[in-house]
Amino acid sequence: MAEAEVANAEAPRATAPADWRLKRNRAVAMVIALLVFALDQATKWVVTYPLGLENQPGQNIRITSFFNLHWVENNGVSLGLLSADGPMGRWLLVAMTAAIAVFVSVWLWREKRRDDSAALALVLGGALGNILDRVRFGHVVDFADLHFGTWRPFLVFNVGDAAITIGVLLLLVRALLMRDGKGAKKES
C-alpha cells in the first residue's frame, strides 16, 4: 500500500518537466509570433508614412542592386491569388485567413516540438499582420522587391509573407525528414 502511494506521488513530478517544456515552448512561440507581427507592421508603417511610397505608385526606392522598395496593394492572398474585388471579397478573405490563423493557433497550442512551434509562430505572426492590413486598408501592403537583374524570383512581398513562407518551408522540410526517418524525434 505504501509503495502505491509513493508511485502516485512521483507520477506528477515525472510529468512536471514535460509540462514546463510545453509551457516554455508556447511562451517562446507567442513571443516569436508577436515579434514577427510587430516587425511586419513597423516596416509597413515606414514604407507607408515616412517614405511615402503609398503616394508614389510605380516608384521604386533602390536599396541595393538586387533589392528595391516598391509599393503594391495586394488584394488577393498568396501570390495574388483569390483576388478580392469589392467589400464582399475583402471580408471573405478576412474570414478565410482568420480561420487559418485560428487553425494555426490551435496547432501551435497543441504542438510539443520546439522547432515546429517556432515555425508555426512565424506563420501565425505573418498571418496576423496581413489580416490587420486587410481589415484596416482593404488590401495587404507589399513593398519588398527582391530581384537579380530582370529576374524576379518572387512577387513583391512583406515581412509577414516572408515569415509565413519560411515557417511553412520549415514545417515541410521537417515533415519530409521525419517521414524518411532521417530526423530524430524529440520534444524539447
pLDDT digits (tens, 9 = 90+) for 138-167: 999 999 999 998 998 888 999 999 999 999
- Which residue ranges in the chain fall short of pLDDT 50? none
The pLDDT, as a whole number, for residue 18 is 83
Query: Which cell numbers in the block locate residue 92?
Result: 471573405
Is 161 among the catalytic positions?
yes
The rounded distance, in Å, linking the Cα atoms of 24 and 34 is 15
Query: What are phi and psi for residue 61, nearest 5 degrees?
Result: -110, 115
Is 142 among the catalytic positions?
yes
Domain ranges within the chain, ordered by starting residue: 35-179
pTM of the full structure: 0.84
Active site residue: 40, 116, 145, 161, which one?
161
Active site residue: 133, 142, 145, 180, which one?
142
The pLDDT, as a whole number, for residue 181 is 55
What element of type H or E holds 55? none
The pLDDT, as a whole number, for residue 57 is 74
Query: In this predicted model, what pLDDT tens digit does every residue of 67-78 receive, in sequence order?
Result: 999 999 998 876
Q: Which residue has the cell 490587420?
A: 132
